[in-house]
Structure 1
Amino acid sequence: MSNDRNLEVKREVPGEYGAPILGAVLDRLDRFYGKNFFEKRRDEYGSTVFRVNMPPGPPFFPDSKVIALLDQKSFPVLFDLTQHHDRWIPELRAAAAAGYAEWDAERNKPKKSGGLLGGIVSGLFPDDPLELNPVLGKIALRFLTKTVLDKDATEGNALTETGIKLWTAPQIAPVLNAGLPAVIQEPLLHTAPIPFIIVAPEYQKIVRFFKANGERAVSLAVPHGIDPDEALHNLIFFICFNTFGGLTILWPALFKHVSDFNEFDLQAKLREEVRRAVGGGGLDAAALGGMPLLQSTVYEVMRIEPPVQSQYGRAKVDFVLETHVEAFKIKAGEMLYGYQPLVTRDPVVFEEPEKFKPRRFMGEEGQRLLEHVFWSNGPETGSPSVDNKQCPGKNFVVLVTRILFADFFLHYDSFKLGDVSISGTSSVYPCTELKKRA
């Protein structure tokens, strides 16, 4: 990253890794069972950049040493591929492929004309849902598989949210707190990789479903020189791990923040905006364009509670890294780590950053702030390409989340969620009130 303000490098990156193995274990225990892991180190060192160990660490995960980046000035270096390693394969224009919207490749967004986008919610919300997670998980799985494969995986329980999570959980367990006592969780989840054989039967079930229904989607990878079998497994990862996993974190958070907001009747405002924009027609791309409050609300949830919290990149060259107030020398080979929940609450950029403000991204000033929203591993104003590391499904995720919430308020007037509890690696969102459209 360029040192455009000529900040002087006055000190080494603060922080320490501690004794071999022991230092990493102590940091891991503090990360999972302590409080304010990043905040207290930021305050101790007087810096938003510092050295620390990140889980899982040794003995079987030996490389735990990172340089943490917690501010809006330093964090974007993780998007600069001239400074560090990362890459992704080309995006599938999933929504367009299924006819949910006609894609404008030049403008990288749905065209304003095209088919209706509604129906994502209809028939899937029970009259009195006790828990939101399974409902939203089923909606996500149905939408994604119908969109990309033209086949509903929820029919006959061909695939289920539980089955997919049985496959994904061991992959992320080493870096998550499952809520178990340390004496159980540390040796079981955080010490060594969980053998694939444990989840192999569930993964093979997923593979069989995608082989039977994914021929068209897989064929899109062939012109890019990707082997069909490799493309199949990448497609599974793209849908079941990246997109499904992200949506089942993002969507409950969206409902929870809207449910808890009490400064004004946000649900009434959203309901009125959605129904006014749709009018006597249907929910299409043009109608979505007339819902600025809904769009801003989605972006604000992505800012305050990004579905993927961590980003990594290993420095390829020596360079100078800037924060808002100082600069540090970074050496080639050092691992950089960004903790997004603090980065996107940077008070230098965002007014009242800890506060959920659904109108934050409305108007010209709100649109300018979008360059500081990084949930997709890049600025919201950027576009995914083979030359950057931004989420290939960036536009799709925003689009389908807006569709979900708009379609919800076409069918329902209001809802209320209870207190969130933790079950394993998931947050449980009980639904205490659901009022159908009058």
Structure 2
Amino acid sequence: MSTSNPLLSELPHREIPGTYGPAFFGPIKDRYDYFYCQGREEFFKSRIQKYDSTVFRTNMPPGPFISSNSKVIAVLDAVSFPILFNTDKVEKKDVFVGTYMPHLDFYGGYRPLAYLDPSEPQHKALKSFLFALFTSLHRKFIPNFQSCLFELFTNLENEISEKNIADFNTNSESISFDFVFNMFTERYPSESPIGSSGPEIAKRWVTLQLAPIGTLGNKYIPSFIDDLLVHTVQLPFFLVKSDYEKLYHAFYALASSVLDQAEKVGIRRGEACHNLVFISAFNSFGGMMVLFPTLIKWVAYGGEDLHRRLAEEIRAIVKTSGVSFIGLEKMALTKSVVYETLRIEPPVPYQYGRAKEDLVINSHDASFVIKKGEMIFGYQPLATKDPKVFVNPNEFVADRFVGEEGEKLKKYVYWSNGRETDDPTPDDKQCPGKDLVILWCRLLLVEFFLRYDTFTAESGENTGFGPPVKITSLRKAN
């Protein structure tokens, strides 16, 4: 058995509490609780209270029609959650979105990197290729993103001037797709058949893949109709086939130098292109689509005092170091705001993995045995708001990660499928673009507060594609 014998552990051994309920009906009941009766936060919190444990058995959507097995062991604290990062003990094959996998037609018949376990040879080849690609492009990241941000801010100002309010999400999605597309092709979508429809095409493609773990979110549709429509069969690829073909053919035609690099290291051109579409439209654009409005929402909540402190730090450092990698690294408060956003509202809330062997995990209070083959599930927003690690865990504390004590907390930020203090490698499942995501978020704040002193915004509930954010005022810097 992996790790120590639970009987020898310093923590008391507990049987994992919880129940899956009767076959077929148990998963459906849990699904209704999760989506319609309790909501996801209360679903988990009520069971933590019921079992007096942050580790327990439950079912996770979508359930019996789409998943062959919905049974999971939930790990919901900062101590137990990292078992999902240990790929020596946990298999990550085909669990990227949950207990099911979308049809391979969505990916041209290939299993993308995100669905591969590190034990599979193609995983190392594809991830190593990505590292090399990012290294070759690193000089373009800052200037190219700055150009896109200039367009974003101009569009926001024009909308506010015309309508007294600006839709941050729509404008952010537009420049995000442009940036990602240009990063790999050196062209803009307007120079391809995609045109201005890139964000909507990508969103439709992603939505169909994720539909079984979401809802239509329409208050006018009865829950049983919503459940029937999205949780009984996977939505078919043909609904977005023409959309996906536009993406694929655009990248195949315009990213030829990137695909040439892939072929040189032994990756088939078609497979490389399908992975490039996935990395661009799902990982990169999809992540920006969620994270950028989330970041702006929390910074808006911080009010004028936070805005003043950010502006002072950013402007002072840019004056001496410019907008550079070195300068960005010096901005302690700016970095902390990004980490705190990723902690309090991580863009990807779920993690899954299947135990490769019998193993023992610990929570704060007890040790538990997980059997080989059992599915482990982590709901990240509870793990990164663990009250035994973070003071005032549900409060956005902008400078939480500033200073020596703040640096110690970074290891409990898990958004990248790993600890923030770890660096991704070809042999793990940590996000290969982890450092780029942090860079883009910092750049967004830097360019924003070089241009503006303060702003106000309204925000709604996160729809799965980030919280809807409306900018209501922008006060330019003098």
Please confirm whether the aligned pair reaches a TM-score higher than 0.5, indicating the same fold.
Answer: yes
Segment drifting more, 31-40 vs 297-306: 31-40
* 1:254-403 to 2 correspondences below 5 Å: 254-262=295-303, 265-279=305-319, 282-403=322-443
CA drift at 1:93: 5.1
TM-score, L = length of structure 2: 0.84
Deviations 1:84-136 (A, max 9, x none): 1123531345554335369xxxxxxxxxxx97973331122221252110111
For residue 418 of structure 1, give the secondary structure of its aligned residue in structure 2: strand
* 1:136-175 to 2 correspondences below 5 Å: 136-153=172-189, 157=195, 159-175=197-213
Report the counterpart of residue 167 of structure 2 in structure 1: 131
Query: Is residue 209 of structure 2 the alignment partner of residue 206 of structure 1?
Result: no
For residue 100 of structure 1, give the secondary structure of its aligned residue in structure 2: helix
Change (3 A) 1:73 1:32: same
Query: Is residue 82 of structure 2 the alignment partner of residue 46 of structure 1?
Result: no
Aligned residue pair count: 426
Report the counterpart of residue 96 of structure 2 in structure 1: none
2:78 to 57, 60, 72: 72
CA drift at 1:201: 0.6
* Aligned sequence identity (%): 39
Segment drifting more, 271-280 vs 35-44: 271-280
For residue 417 of structure 1, give the secondary structure of its aligned residue in structure 2: strand
For residue 376 of structure 1, give the secondary structure of its aligned residue in structure 2: coil
User: Contact between 1:293 and 1:359, CA under 8 Å: does it hold in 2?
Assistant: yes
Structure 2 unaligned regions, length at least 5: 93-116, 118-122
1:220 partner letter: Q
User: Contact between 1:415 and 1:431, CA under 8 Å: does it hold in 2?
Assistant: yes
Change (3 A) 1:422 1:47: closer
Change (3 A) 1:350 1:422: closer
Change (3 A) 1:145 1:425: closer
Report the counterpart of residue 411 of structure 1 in structure 2: 451
Change (3 A) 1:115 1:133: closer
Once residues 168 and 146 of structure 1 are traced to their aligned partners in structure 2, the CA distance between those partners, rounded to angstroms, is 20
Once residues 249 and 425 of structure 1 are traced to their aligned partners in structure 2, the CA distance between those partners, rounded to angstroms, is 5
Report the counterpart of residue 110 of structure 1 in structure 2: none
Change (3 A) 1:200 1:369: same
User: Contact between 2:11 and 2:367, CA under 8 Å: does it hold in 1?
Assistant: yes
User: Contact between 2:350 and 2:379, CA under 8 Å: does it hold in 1?
Assistant: yes
Once residues 43 and 327 of structure 1 are traced to their aligned partners in structure 2, the CA distance between those partners, rounded to angstroms, is 18
Report the counterpart of residue 3 of structure 2 in structure 1: 2
Segment drifting more, 250-259 vs 146-155: 146-155
User: Contact between 1:98 and 1:150, CA under 8 Å: does it hold in 2?
Assistant: no
Report the counterpart of residue 24 of structure 1 in structure 2: 27
User: Contact between 2:412 and 2:419, CA under 8 Å: does it hold in 1?
Assistant: yes
For residue 473 of structure 2, give the secondary structure of its aligned residue in structure 1: strand
For residue 194 of structure 1, give the secondary structure of its aligned residue in structure 2: coil
TM-score, L = length of structure 1: 0.91
CA drift at 1:11: 3.0
Query: Is residue 217 of structure 2 the alignment partner of residue 179 of structure 1?
Result: yes
* 1:75-90 to 2 correspondences below 5 Å: 75-86=81-92, 87=117, 88=123, 89-90=126-127
Segment drifting more, 70-79 vs 128-137: 128-137
Deviations 1:324-378 (A, max 9, x none): 1101111000000000000001111111111101101111211111111100000
Once residues 270 and 334 of structure 1 are traced to their aligned partners in structure 2, the CA distance between those partners, rounded to angstroms, is 46
Once residues 239 and 449 of structure 2 are traced to their aligned partners in structure 1, the CA distance between those partners, rounded to angstroms, is 41
User: Contact between 2:297 and 2:459, CA under 8 Å: does it hold in 1?
Assistant: no
Change (3 A) 1:137 1:174: same
Deviations 1:148-177 (A, max 9, x none): 222222567255211110111010011013
Report the counterpart of residue 195 of structure 1 in structure 2: 236
For residue 239 of structure 1, give the secondary structure of its aligned residue in structure 2: helix
CA drift at 1:419: 3.5
CA drift at 1:427: 3.3
2:272 partner letter: A
User: Contact between 1:278 and 1:287, CA under 8 Å: does it hold in 2?
Assistant: yes
Deviations 1:369-415 (A, max 9, x none): 11111000000111111211101111111111111211122222222
User: Contact between 2:151 and 2:175, CA under 8 Å: does it hold in 1?
Assistant: no
Change (3 A) 1:101 1:380: farther
User: Contact between 1:179 and 1:422, CA under 8 Å: does it hold in 2?
Assistant: no
Structure 1 unaligned regions, length at least 5: 103-113
CA drift at 1:298: 0.3
1:410 partner letter: L
Change (3 A) 1:52 1:228: same
CA drift at 1:58: 0.9
Once residues 459 and 90 of structure 2 are traced to their aligned partners in structure 1, the CA distance between those partners, rounded to angstroms, is 41
Once residues 74 and 205 of structure 2 are traced to their aligned partners in structure 1, the CA distance between those partners, rounded to angstroms, is 29
